[in-house]
Amino acid sequence: MNFSAKIRGALIAVFTLPLAFMSVSHAQDQVPITIVINQSPWFAGFQTVVGQYQEKTGNTVSLDVNPFAGSLEKQRSAVRSKESPYDILIMNAGFFIEMYKGGFLSPLNDIDPKFALDKDLYTFDDSVYWDPSTNKIDAKTGKLMSVPINPFIPILHYRSDLYAEKGLKVPETWDDLLANAKALNNPPSMYGIVQRGARGTFDVTYDVLPYIWSYGGGLLKDQKAGDYTIIVNSPETKAGMEMYLKLAKEAGHPSTAGQTQANVLQNMATGKAGNIIAVLAASIFDDPNQSAVVDKVGFAPPPHAPGFQSSPGLGHWLGGIPKNIPGDRQKAALAFLNWFQSKDAQMAYAEAGSPPVSRAVLESDLGNQPKYRWMKALSKGLTTARLPFFIPESAQILAITELGFNQIISGQTTVNDGLNNMAKEMEKVMTAAGYKAPLLPDLKD
Amino acid sequence: MYLSSTENARSASPEGLVENGSLQPLNRDRFWRNLTLAPAILLFLALTILPMVNLAVLSLHDIDWAQGLSSWTYVGLKHYASLAADSLFKASILNTLVFSTVAVSVQMVLGFALALLTSSIVHGRLFYRTVFLLPILVPGIIIGAIWKLMFSFDFGVLNQMAGAIGIMPRDWLGDATYSLASIIVVDIWHWTPFCFLLLLASLETLPQDVYEASDIDGATRWQSLWYITIPLMLPAIAVTFVFRLILAFKVFDEVYLLTGGGPGTSTEVVSFTIFRRFFTEDRPGYGSAMSITTFAFIALMIIVVSAVTRRKGSTS
Amino acid sequence: MSAAYSAPLRSTLFRHGLLVIAAALVLFPFLWIVAAAFKTQISLLTGQLLFQPTLANFVNVLFSSTSDYVRNFSNSLVIASASTVLVLVVATLAAYSLQCMQWPSWVLHSMLGWSVIFHMVPPITLAGAWYSMFRTIGLDNTYTGLILAHTTLNLPMALWMMGVFVRDVPKELIEAAKIDGAGTPRILRHVIVPLVRPGLAAAGILSFIFSWNEFAVVLTLSQRQTATVPVAIGKYAQENTIAYTEMAAASVLSMMPAVLLLLIAQRFIVRGLTTGAVK
């Protein structure tokens, strides 16, 4: 039993931890900093890297770990107060723009003019840059605002053992996936695919996006170029939505509308799902304490419609430094971020089980090892990944789409009515926020 | 309770003034009177009135952030006006009304029955009492997590048991037909003990001599329950009911973890909508208007309920 | 009730039968939680009835470097105890003042009325305002701030309950003490407090438990140094999964002091209530 080993490990950690602190405390060259972060499957890796940073530099970094649900609220409160208790904010793709636009973050070159992003780092649809004069993400005119921390995108997780057994090929298009899912579908002991359809803050919308984008649809036409035409009720979006529903109906879970991300992962972990599309959960599926499918899960980018490219939505995390803290704390925070983006740190981060944000590490030989077999799928998926929101009104739009998509999936409304209705509500929000957001004609049967 | 105690004070105050004949003790009394109430007043002022005033002011404004600074724009009653068109808010009010009245009614009946049963047995009282009090010890967040797992479509113990006796599995939380009922079941499990505790406390302070008299008169158990116990306990029942109703109206933790308001709007409840609008969507102005409207709504409800119980109390 | 003594055996058995069923329904989720705490995540999810128990969840909760559980636990003890004591003192004083010291009726009206109104406010809406106030005066992330917050949250309930108990104290006893020359402090100590002890016990237990379980406000006002047990438990609800088994282990540990308190104070409540009934 590995229990005694764990006890021993814990005891050793308890007794040696103080020693480790004592031996390095003299080397400190930066003031102590605090990072606000949320608990997640990749947190353990982040913590390992923080430990190494403290060991190597002698600087003190404390982590304020929050449940996922409370992290944004704490960050908001902190940056809006007189002096933030936090020195680095770990921000999600869903809300970093709010921090940029509110002017809460210090541009990194204001802290150190010489600081530059490592050339190997992904910039995730330029989301590390912000132009405050135009209030837009812009790599050319914008300032560097943050350092990437985690590269989450949705990834297709499939049962590689069953694929081999039935002679199935890794799917390229949605129709391929449908065929594979049907081949594996044998409810209730096995569902061909389990999709997240439950309503949350950025849940069902996030999982519907790869479908509707890859058919040429979406929510708003081209936010980056400033075209806010509402295309949620376009024929293309409808085609993607119908593909989602087809999979759910013909080879999916009987209660897709009730599935949360945790349900989806549980179905895979217990061997009840043939395919899922979810953010990378390799660390769960390869842990025998949490999974009945160890080494039986393969990874690939999400499928796409014929003639289109795979379109995963970015759900990445960025590290930013608040404006409302003293200069020495900002410098100490930047020193950590600078160290974090180094190749050594990124390598250690990957080895501790967290997906790195460095292209060099993600595309390195590490990816050839079975343990890191997810790396290739992730790096391929990242090449076509898209940022869902370039505007700060994301929360209000998501409130509409989370409910709307969930109602379509649960059958409370028809596809046409649901999409038309969402379009009208989005138009209200967008217009009230001052955007020019034309509506398309209603979808008709 | 609140109304009956004011009656008490009103009748007590004139005599009191007459009794305090000399000025000296009156001053000393006044000193102690103010001093004993001061801490409560201070806490209320600083930590409730101030933030509530803040909420009221917020509800008349829009707040924007730029360059790390906030700018407040006065918008009058705009937020209150747009509440009427908020279909989510309407759904949540309706759901919360159904949720709280059904859940609390069942809790009152069960809690009363359990209190009666517990007080009527000789042996094992302590055991049952302890067992029934356990659920209120559990943080809502754990209750949410554990029941979520028990309700789970694929792994939940409920569907396993249903399967064992040949019933089709149901998606208790993910199917709009059952989701609200499932949340109500969890709330009943969680809060029946609270009703039990308060009702048992009142039951055990009932004067024994009345029962002894009715025993002599040959009253049956049901008769003494109906004609003695329930009338005597009416104030306690009313207080417990109102108290629980208010708590039920605030339900948050359980819904947050169990369903997140879904599927669709089937379990969207008021404090969850407020939380969503206020924090998640970061619309503090609109969220405050929603909060204040909700207080007004509940206050009205409480006034109606206590007026009704008072009339009942005075006629009987 | 005294009637129970004359009850026939059959009806006694019937009553016990009902109570046992009710007790089983109440206890089942607890057994589930306890069993979950000794399972691995996968054996929990696959619903194994027979499983090899593991202590790994408890080890992780108590000793893992990512867990602050021990500190969270002692924070909870400090905050729940201190806020309970404080709320009992404040509420008893206020209840005495309001019920026995001839305030004009509008004062009583507004205090109790305001308690009701405040009690309706979902605490989540006040948490933001409290954070900015506390941050300004340096009380965020301190015990003092959290204790004050929990005292305020529980004050309406305590005020209600103590109000009822103090009102029921016979006014003749207070008058008699006054005639004997007792001042307010002595009346409080020797007349009121002994007589409202059942109320203090009941209100105290409820305050303690509500404070122990409160999640939203602590989450907003605390950081790592002052976070309490529910926040620690909340952390197991992660971004994509819920670490049920560790959550269960943390929950089992978190319930221990409250259960202990209930077992001890249970006797006290019973004794208190029976003394009250004789009066």
Q: Which residue ranges make up each domain of chain B?
A: 16-58, 79-315
Q: Which three-class secondary structure state does DSSP give residue A75? A: helix
How many domains does the structure of chain C reveal? Answer: 2
- Which pLDDT score is estimated for C7? 54
Q: With CB atoms and an 8 Å threshold, state whether B197 touches C202.
A: yes
Q: With CB atoms and an 8 Å threshold, state whether C136 touches A81.
A: yes
User: Does residue C78 belong to any structural domain of this protein?
Assistant: yes
pLDDT, tens digit, 9 for 90 and up, residues A126-142: 999 999 998 889 999 99
Is cis: bond before C123, omega within 30 of 0?
no
A19-49: string of b/e by CB count within 10 Å (b at 16+)? Answer: eeeeebeeeeebbebbbbbbbbbbbbbbbbb
- Which pLDDT score is estimated for A304? 97
| CA dist., res. B83 & res. B6, Å (int) | 35
The answer, yes or no, to whether residue C86 has pLDDT greater than 90, is yes
pLDDT, tens digit, 9 for 90 and up, residues B87-121: 899 999 999 999 999 999 999 999 999 988 888 88
CA A376 to chain centre: 17
Lowest mean pLDDT among A18-22, A235-239, A326-330, A401-405: A18-22
Cα Rg of chain B (Å, integer): 25
- Which pLDDT score is estimated for C82? 97
| CA dist., res. B152 & res. A145, Å (int) | 42
User: Does residue C263 belong to any structural domain of this protein?
Assistant: no
Nearest to C237 among A17, A51, A67 (CB): A67
Residue of A nearest to B278 (CA): A73
Q: Please report which residue ranges of A286-433 form alpha helices under DSSP H.
A: 327-340, 343-351, 359-362, 374-383, 394-410, 415-432
Same domain, residue pair C24 and C159:
no
User: Does residue C188 belong to any structural domain of this protein?
Assistant: yes
| CA dist., res. A345 & res. B35, Å (int) | 61
Q: With CB atoms and an 8 Å threshold, state whether A43 touches C46.
A: no
CATH code at position C186: 1.10.3720.10
User: Does residue C75 belong to any structural domain of this protein?
Assistant: yes
The answer, yes or no, to whether residue A19 has pLDDT greater than 80, is no
The answer, yes or no, to whether residue A425 has pLDDT greater than 70, is yes
Nearest-CA distance from B265 to chain A in Å?
Answer: 8
| CA dist., res. A82 & res. A320, Å (int) | 18
In contact, A155 and A381? CB cutoff 8 Å: yes
Same domain, residue pair C160 and C137:
yes
Q: Which of A196, A260, A325 to mutate to test the interface with B (most CBs of B within 10 A)?
A: A260
User: Does residue C98 belong to any structural domain of this protein?
Assistant: yes
Residues of B in contact with C18 (CB under 8 A): 117
What type of residue is C232?
Answer: A
In order of A25, A87, A200, A323, the CA distances from A329 in angstroms are 18, 7, 35, 10
Nearest to C56 among A6, A40, A261 (CB): A6
Same domain, residue pair C154 and C174:
yes
Nearest to C239 among A6, A13, A38 (CB): A38
Q: Does B34 lie at the interface with A, CB-CB under 8 angstroms?
A: no
Residues of B in contact with C124 (CB under 8 A): 252, 271, 274-275, 278-279
Lowest mean pLDDT among A378-392, B234-248, C182-196: B234-248
- Which pLDDT score is estimated for B123? 82
Instruction: Provide long-range contacts, Cβ within 8 A and 24+ apart, for B302-305.
Output: B302/B242, B302/B246, B302/C116, B302/C120, B305/B238, B305/B241, B305/B242, B305/B245
Residues of A in contact with C219 (CB under 8 A): 66-67, 70, 73-74
Give me the domains of chain A, ranges plus CATH numbers.
Answer: 14-152+314-362 (3.40.190.10), 154-312+391-432 (3.40.190.10)
Q: Count how many residues are written for chain B.
A: 316
Residues 6+ apart with CB under 8 A from A69: B256, C234, C237
Q: How confident is the model at residue C141 (pLDDT cuts 50, 70, 90)?
A: confident
pLDDT, tens digit, 9 for 90 and up, residues B139-187: 888 888 788 888 988 878 888 888 888 888 888 988 888 999 999 999 9
The answer, yes or no, to whether residue C72 has pLDDT greater than 60, is yes
Give the mean model confidence (pLDDT) for residues B121-141. Answer: 81
pLDDT, tens digit, 9 for 90 and up, residues C207-254: 888 899 898 889 888 887 899 999 888 888 776 778 888 888 998 998
Give domain B79-315's CATH superfamily: MetI-like (1.10.3720.10)
Residue of B nearest to C234 (CA): B141
| CA dist., res. B196 & res. B120, Å (int) | 14
pLDDT, tens digit, 9 for 90 and up, residues B268-308: 999 889 888 888 888 889 998 998 898 888 778 777 876 77
| CA dist., res. C44 & res. B148, Å (int) | 13
Residue C206's domain comprises 68-235
Same domain, residue pair C154 and C40:
no
Q: What percent of chain A has pLDDT over 90?
A: 78
The answer, yes or no, to whether residue B208 has pLDDT greater than 90, is no
- Which pLDDT score is estimated for B309? 66
Residues 6+ apart with CB under 8 A from A77: C128, C131, C132, C135, C220
| CA dist., res. C115 & res. A82, Å (int) | 32
Q: With CB atoms and an 8 Å threshold, state whether B154 touches A267.
A: yes
Q: How confident is the model at residue C258 (pLDDT cuts 50, 70, 90)?
A: confident
The answer, yes or no, to whether residue B13 has pLDDT greater than 80, is no
| Nearest Cα residue to C266 out of B107, B128, B135 | B128
The answer, yes or no, to whether residue C2 has pLDDT greater than 80, is no
Instruction: Rank A35-49, A181-195, C10-24 by mean pLDDT and report only the highest.
Output: A181-195
Nearest-CA distance from A226 to chain B in Å?
Answer: 20
Q: With CB atoms and an 8 Å threshold, state whether A198 touches B256.
A: no
Lowest mean pLDDT among A152-156, B310-314, C142-146: B310-314
Same domain, residue pair C36 and C137:
no
Run of H or E including B28: helix B23-44
Same domain, residue pair C19 and C117:
no
- Which pLDDT score is estimated for B279? 80
Interchain CB contacts (distance < 8 Å): B and C: 297
Same domain, residue pair C29 and C80:
no
Q: Which three-class secondary structure state does DSSP give residue B168? A: coil
Residues of A in contact with C135 (CB under 8 A): 77, 81-82
In contact, C96 and C193? CB cutoff 8 Å: no
The answer, yes or no, to whether residue B2 has pLDDT greater than 50, is no
The answer, yes or no, to whether residue C79 has pLDDT greater than 80, is yes
Instruction: Rank A107-111, B250-254, C54-58, C248-252 by mean pLDDT and report only the highest.
Output: A107-111
Q: Does B261 lie at the interface with A, CB-CB under 8 angstroms?
A: yes
Same domain, residue pair C90 and C225:
yes
Nearest to A289 among C41, C235, C240 (CB): C41
| Helix pair C105-120, C143-167: axis angle to 10 deg | 130
DSSP B137: G
- Which pLDDT score is estimated for C278? 30
Same domain, residue pair C51 and C72:
no
DSSP A445: -
